[in-house]
């Protein structure tokens, strides 16, 4: 397991990274990519990674692992506890794809340094990235989450779905930010996210993930915030 220091990435760089991957994957498929984004196919088919589902608690000896990527073996393993949770499974695969796209080049560079201090002969390849459920998000994990959200919910597709649901007037609600600060997702936002999920056929995305994507894309706004902007 490697502790990886990653450089800061802007939202624009993350947008470009996911857009590029979706475009190239679309070329490989021979058709433009539309939600639901088949992240299994991106991982296995387009990127040529081996996708496995297994008991990561046994494999890694850790209690709360959702996914792990072995860069050297081109292998992604998802914990079997997610098998029947479509949205969480897809997000975890998308997250691991994020590591592969964003952090593998850094790992390759680190390996050059590590070769100066080789591991014991015959040692099993270590998981380069292990993603746990209850850990404070390290920068690499945060970036992979952001990448996953963009991959599963491309901005243009979300905007189109929002327009279908709300027309050209974006929802503005009072108390939206206060709820978010209190760690709650506003019930009006949740209901709106459900409509967007359905309109955009985001069948492998959770309501919670869509709520945060709507915030990030500023497609829902707080009344107070809007007034401040107008002033």
What does the binding site for other proteins look like in residue numbers (CB under 8 A)?
Answer: 38, 40-41, 44-45, 50-54, 80, 83, 89
**Nearer to other proteins (CB atom), residue 14 or residue 93:** 93
Instruction: Tell me how far CA of residue 9 lies from CA of 18, 21, 103, 128, 154, in angstroms.
Output: 13, 16, 11, 20, 18
Distance CA(24)–CA(21), nearest Å, equals: 5
Please state the closest distance from residue 144 (CB atom) to other proteins, in A: 20
Please state the closest distance from residue 4 (CB atom) to other proteins, in A: 26
| Cβ contacts of 145 within 8 Å, gap of 6 or more | 95, 98, 137
Count of beta carbons in the 10 Å neighbourhood of residue 193 = 26
Please state the closest distance from residue 210 (CB atom) to other proteins, in A: 22
**Nearer to other proteins (CB atom), residue 13 or residue 50:** 50
Please state the closest distance from residue 84 (CB atom) to other proteins, in A: 9
Q: Which residue has the tokens 């979706």?
A: 22
**Nearer to other proteins (CB atom), residue 130 or residue 189:** 130
Antiparallel, parallel or unpaired: β 50-54 and 172-173:
unpaired
**Nearer to other proteins (CB atom), residue 36 or residue 171:** 36
């Amino acid at each position: 397991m490697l502790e990886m220091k990653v450089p800061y990435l802007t939202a624009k760089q993350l947008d470009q990274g996911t857009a590029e991957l979706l475009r190239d994957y679309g070329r490989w498929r021979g058709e433009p990519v539309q939600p639901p984004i088949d992240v299994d196919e991106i991982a296995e088919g387009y990127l040529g990674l081996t996708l496995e589902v297994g008991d990561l608690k046994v494999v890694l000896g850790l209690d709360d692992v959702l996914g792990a990527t072995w860069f050297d073996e081109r292998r992604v393993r998802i914990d079997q506890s997610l098998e029947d949770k479509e949205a969480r499974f897809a997000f975890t695969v998308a997250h691991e794809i994020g590591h592969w796209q964003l952090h593998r080049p850094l790992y390759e560079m680190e390996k050059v340094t590590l070769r100066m201090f080789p591991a014991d002969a015959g040692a099993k390849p270590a998981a380069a990235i292990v993603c746990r459920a209850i850990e404070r998000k390290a920068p690499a994990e945060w970036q992979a989450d952001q990448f996953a959200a963009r991959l599963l919910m491309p901005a243009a597709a979300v905007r189109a779905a929002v327009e279908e649901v709300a027309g050209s007037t974006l929802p503005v609600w009072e108390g939206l930010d206060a709820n978010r600060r209190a760690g709650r997702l506003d019930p009006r936002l949740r209901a709106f996210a459900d409509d967007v999920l359905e309109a955009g056929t985001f069948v492998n995305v959770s309501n919670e993930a869509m709520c945060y994507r709507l915030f990030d894309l500023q497609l829902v706004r707080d009344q107070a915030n809007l007034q401040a902007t107008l002033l």
